[in-house]
Amino acid sequence: MFIETERIGPNLIVQIDGELDLETSPLFREKIETKLNQYELIKHLILDLQKVNFIDSSGLGAILGRFRRLSQEGGRVSAVNVSPQVKRIFELSGLLKIIKIYSDRQQALKS
C-alpha cells in the first residue's frame, strides 16, 4: 500500500493506493495520526479511495478511529472517488451514516 497526503487549508487529503486490510491498516493509522498531530488545524479528512479495491474490517476500523478523533475535535471525514465495491462495503458496515461520499476532491473541498 502507498499513501500520499496533501494539506489544503484545514483539509488533509489522503490518497491510498492498494488494499486497506489487516496488514496495511496499521501503516494507514500511523501515517494519518502523524499528519493530524503535525497539522493541528485539520478539520476535514478527505480519503481519496480511487485506487483502493478492497477494505476489510481492520481497514474500516482504522477509518472509524480517524473519524472519532476528528469528530471529537469538531472535524469530519469524507471519501471521494469510491468504487462501487468499496461503497458497498461502506453501506454494509454502516460507515455511510457517518462518512459522506463525494464524486471527487473538488466537491469534498467545497462542502
Spatial distance between the Cα atoms of 8 and 73, rounded to a whole number of angstroms: 18
Which helix (H) or strand (E) element contains residue 35?
helix 25-38
Query: What confidence tens digit (pLDDT) does each residue in 31-43 have?
Result: 999 999 998 789 9
User: Are the beta carbons of 30 and 92 closer than 8 angstroms?
Assistant: no
The pTM assigned to this predicted structure is: 0.92
What does the block give as the cell for 28? 494507514
15-26 average pLDDT score: 94
**pLDDT of 1 strictly over 90:** no
Q: How much is the pLDDT for 104? A: 93
Vertex 9 angle, CA 8 and 15, to 5°: 30
Closest CA to 28 of 49, 7, 11: 49
Radius of gyration of the chain from Cα atoms? 12
